[in-house]
Structure 1
Amino acid sequence: MVCCYKISRFLFILLIPLLFNTCIKEDFDPDKLDTEIIIKPGVAAPLGYIHYELEEILKDSLHPEGMVVDNDGFIRMVYEEEIFSFQASEFLQFSDIQHSGSINNDLPVPLNLSLIQDPFIQTDTINFSLTGTEGPDYTEIDSIITDSLTIVVTLSSSYNLDGILQISSPRIIKNGAAWSATIPLSSNVQSFNLQGYTIVLSNNPPDVNLIPIIFTMTLERSQGTVPAGSPVMSYQLSVNNISYSVIYGYLGIMNITIDPQTFPVSFFNSIIDGTFHFEEPELKLYFENSFGLPIQVIMTDFYAISREGNQLAITGDSVPSPSYPRIIRYPSISEVGLTAYDSLILNPDNTNLFEALESSPGSISFGVETETNPSGNINENFITDNSQYSVKAKLILPLHGYADFMLMVDTISFNFEDFFQNPPEEIKRLAFRLNFTNGLPVNVYAQMYFTDENYAVLDSIFDSPHLVEAAADQDGDGKVDPIQNDPVEVEFIRTKIDNISTSRYILLYGNLTTTNYDMVPPENVKFYTDYFIDAYIGVTGDIELNSTGN
């Protein structure tokens, strides 16, 4: 929070009571009035009060994606992103099936349809294979519970037939009964909805995922003569809209590669130089898997990327790699419809995460390669229509460690002309008085720059950064107690006064160094939300103004 009190023409306003106090009372004689008399009063005024709480600095300057505060006020920066996911529809889909066939006169002689006394029965059996438009190249499916499946049968014949065609399959079952349907031979097109059926497929490698369909023609007396071996009737079978509720069996090996995803880390964005050395950073990978099959994960393109674009690989035995792949937990065959959860925690003990964060990265890059059933056909698999697999990353940066970095804390509007509207040469002496109270466990080397409307630096308050000493733990409770630094007065010479006369802004910079940073090893400190820094800024000076105001 920044509180600045606007003091328009404060020097002149404060001059008025001083004039009354210094006037010598005598009889007024206009002829004796000297309009060129020079008056040199002394003036003093507050310029502003600045109060920064650590929580506000982090929110306003660093723009974190998330900040978690413990019950005691300890701060953790948290960045979370989904880096990979896929659905069942991306894993396995089935192609529509088209099959043409006929039921022939298998007699060695022509069949006179008008002479049929008893029903003439002829059959034809086909086996069609379920193949996928998306998914593994090879599967051995035991069974499918359909969410939708439509069978369309189109009949045609060169003869005027009387009878029925029964279509059935002993492997398409619902409520314990095999599916069958009857079509009059006089029909052209019939369709059947097989939603909610269980299809039991046959597998005899290399012939796999087969479904038998039996066509049984029962022919009554009709018209025409069918030559031996010729079709009595022809049919067109279409199997469409194939989707599943559940699939059981061996679902094959499938490789899925996800291009690198960028994971932004905004904590370092406002750091101009240096870095924060995190003592206990963690990068957690969370896996959610409702596919009932083993999935192997390998991390690729796993880098910390600096704001300059330089890459530092994140490595370690705990990072899934071709040498150390990770099999993610998955639901067993008795857990159909459930989700299995798994996680991987990367920290400085099992990776080079500490060194990676030393580069003050602006982002972290993730790539993921997955492989299903990496050990082959040794497990019974399942998937449901709602199965999904996802990987989320969470970077946790507890504000516990040591630091040495420069930070631009804030920008304050400061229009010099609002404070003094007369020519700046009337100011003969100008000094800024500053009082700092530091409630942070950091030495702050503070600097304030005056800039013009284009943020070009005109001058600074300090010739070199001013040390604001760090707070210290006085009572042993683990938290630092605020310390009031000695007041400091900065005298502005003529040149500096002229330099800032066109100022429009004050830029606040600080080089922050944690307590005992120079120790070996450096001392680690913790940061809490109630830590703060205060600054009271005042100004004193002398002006020289002739009594005519000129």
Structure 2
Amino acid sequence: MKNIRLKNITGFILILLIIMLGYNACVKDNFKYDKLTTNNVEWRPNIAVPVAFATLNLRDLLQDYDSTELLVEDGTGFLYVMYESKVASITAENLINISNQSYSENIPVPDLSIVGNQLYAKKEMVKTFDVIGDERIDSIILKTCSLAVTISSTYKHTGTIKFTFPTIKLNGQIFTVNVPISSASGNFNSIKDYDLSSYHIDLTSGPSNYNQLSYTVELWLDDSSSPVQASDNLSINFDFSSIKFSSAYGYFGQKNINIPLDSIVLEVYANAFQGNASVEDPKMNIYINNSYGMEIKANITNLSGYSNIYQPTPLILPSFYNPITIQGPSFNQIGQSLLTEMFLNKSNCNIKSVMSNLPHYILYSVDAQTNPNATPSLQTNFVLDSSKLDVDIEVELPLYGSAKYFVLQDTTEFDVSKFFKDLNPIDWVMFRTNITNGFPTDIGVQAYFTDSLYNVVDSLFERDTQFISSGVINSEGKVIQSTLQTTDVLFPKNRIKKLENVKYALFRGYASTTNNAQEAVRIYSNYGVEVQLAIQAQFTINQAQSDTIF
């Protein structure tokens, strides 16, 4: 398929209106002035000027405008409006946290023994690695970790203290440090920081085989003439902080994941003002990519269409999609992501009726939970620092359907004083339009001219709306012949006078598919309109005024 960016479906109608107003500078290079001559129209003897000839189709408009929605053209030229939005990305850093760890040891006098000409003590410890709830961590490869070691000694001896963490390793080498006790004053203090980034921690060395950290502390005190006092002591504190993982293994409990209420904007209905429109086969596809090594259960708590015209309409999901179990990769798939897909269409939910209400927004919210079965002894999880849960929604609106009195509205600046300094010499102006409609819709157009406070001063057409009949369609809803309509719009002096205070033009485009919207039609990229515009005007002007009009 061919992908083309589209600014706004209303752009076509707005450009059509602008052309009818003669405001042709906004239509880029589509006008071909050499295609229209005064032979195309018949005027009373007066000043008549051919203004422009334009052939505009959807393919032209798509090439000129750009925005967030994607228009997809298949091999036949049939068009789809596509919206793609990443609605959530739950990263490992936001889901799994490892707490700071602190451990303390003391070596008092009773722990000392004489070995040769030294005093010696050794402590082998297994400590609990603090986790949240019922988490069970077997091992961690550290991305970052800082270990602060604080030592205080009141022994009036020099010596050495050695601490070893046999299950903390880097490239197979055990983390062990010797710290010299360099002062025999009885007031020795040492604070040192160690970077444990990239180290591997095995927490299975204790009796429970998880959440257990072992270490050994050894003390040698040199022979000294100072006696050992009963109150003497050496204390050592280990403080692990800034713990971030590259990967972690174990069981990480039931984490609640909340995707709060948010929305996808459907710009195609942004300017919908009133009326009805129906898309024959709308679709919504939800793609969930999970690279956590654990199962996740998700419940979509809100999925609905919010319209500028109608009440919000809930999209009722089939029971097999809500809740939905999201599988995670196995240990043989570490680093990969598993895709869970949800395909919503008119056969399994009420998406057609939701889209018939012209929703400007699709509202959604989700509650999810990791490890929904909650069996720590039977489940083994893993998580990488790159693990995440991505949720993407794709809305597909094939331009195949019907519309009845569907109204689009927009506003633009339209200051007549920028074109004419003085309107008094103009007696009247007549616009003649020859419009050939190649769309399968009756197109109604109107422009209201307002002052700076948006009070309506006049309109382009004196009647409510000027309708242009649709092209002729076949049994498949495809246009096989265009229709031609000629329209004259007269602005006499009293109407021209009203335009002096005009600052804005409020455009409304009306659309109804053929046969009073009883038949579904298809929109193809080669559909378009041909517009011929000529202007006839009469001036009462003298030489003194000639330089003051324009």
Instruction: Decide: shared fold, TM above 0.5.
Output: yes
Question: TM range, normalised to the smaller chain?
Answer: 0.7 to 0.9
**What residue ranges of structure 1 are gaps of 5+ in the alignment?**
8-39
Alignment of 1:131-530 (within 5 A): 131-132=130-131, 136-186=132-182, 188-189=189-190, 190-202=192-204, 209-226=211-228, 231-307=232-308, 310-317=311-318, 320=321, 324-376=322-374, 377=376, 378-404=378-404, 405-408=406-409, 415=416, 418=420, 433-447=432-446, 449=448, 456-461=456-461, 463-473=463-473, 479-489=478-488, 498-503=494-499, 509-519=508-518, 523-530=519-526
Cα contact 2:273–2:309 (8 A) shared by 1 = no
Superimposed CA distance per residue, residues 103-146 of structure 1 (whole angstroms, 9 cap, x where no aligned partner): 13337xxx7x9x864544322233333335xxx53211111122
Cα contact 2:316–2:350 (8 A) shared by 1 = yes
State the superposition RMSD in angstroms: 4.0
C-alpha separation in 1, matches of 2:180 and 2:457? 93
| Corresponding letter in the other structure for 2:401 | G
C-alpha separation in 1, matches of 2:121 and 2:194? 22
C-alpha separation in 2, matches of 1:419 and 1:154? 85
C-alpha separation in 2, matches of 1:414 and 1:152? 72
C-alpha separation in 2, matches of 1:64 and 1:304? 19
TM-score by length of 2: 0.77
Task: Tell me the CA shift for residue 260 of structure 1.
Answer: 0.8
Aligned length: 495
C-alpha separation in 1, matches of 2:22 and 2:311? 45
| Corresponding letter in the other structure for 2:126 | N
C-alpha separation in 2, matches of 1:152 and 1:509? 70
| Corresponding letter in the other structure for 2:121 | Q
C-alpha separation in 2, matches of 1:153 and 1:542? 96
| Corresponding letter in the other structure for 2:211 | N
Distance 1:409 1:514, change over 3 A: farther
Helix, strand or coil: the match of 1:350?
Answer: coil
Cα contact 1:140–1:203 (8 A) shared by 2 = no
TM-score by length of 1: 0.77
C-alpha separation in 1, matches of 2:229 and 2:413? 101
Cα contact 1:64–1:267 (8 A) shared by 2 = no
Task: Tell me the CA shift for residue 248 of structure 1.
Answer: 0.7
Cα contact 1:257–1:368 (8 A) shared by 2 = yes
| Corresponding letter in the other structure for 1:536 | Q
C-alpha separation in 1, matches of 2:70 and 2:239? 54
Helix, strand or coil: the match of 2:515?
Answer: coil
| Corresponding letter in the other structure for 2:327 | R
C-alpha separation in 1, matches of 2:199 and 2:445? 75
Superimposed CA distance per residue, residues 422-480 of structure 1 (whole angstroms, 9 cap, x where no aligned partner): 556x56xx765432201101122344556667662424435353442211247x99742
| Corresponding letter in the other structure for 2:129 | L
Task: Tell me the CA shift for residue 349 of structure 1.
Answer: 1.9
From the CA coordinates, give the structure whose radius of gyration is larger: 1
**What residue ranges of structure 2 are gaps of 5+ in the alignment?**
1-14, 25-43, 184-188, 546-550
Cα contact 1:415–1:502 (8 A) shared by 2 = no
| Corresponding letter in the other structure for 1:100 | S
| Corresponding letter in the other structure for 1:147 | K
C-alpha separation in 1, matches of 2:421 and 2:51? 9
Structure 1, 62-71 or 177-186: larger mean CA deviation: 62-71
Task: Tell me the CA shift for residue 185 of structure 1.
Answer: 3.4
2:31 aligned residue: none
Cα contact 1:159–1:223 (8 A) shared by 2 = no
C-alpha separation in 2, matches of 1:408 and 1:482? 28
1:106 aligned residue: 110
C-alpha separation in 1, matches of 2:177 and 2:235? 17
Distance 1:264 1:486, change over 3 A: closer
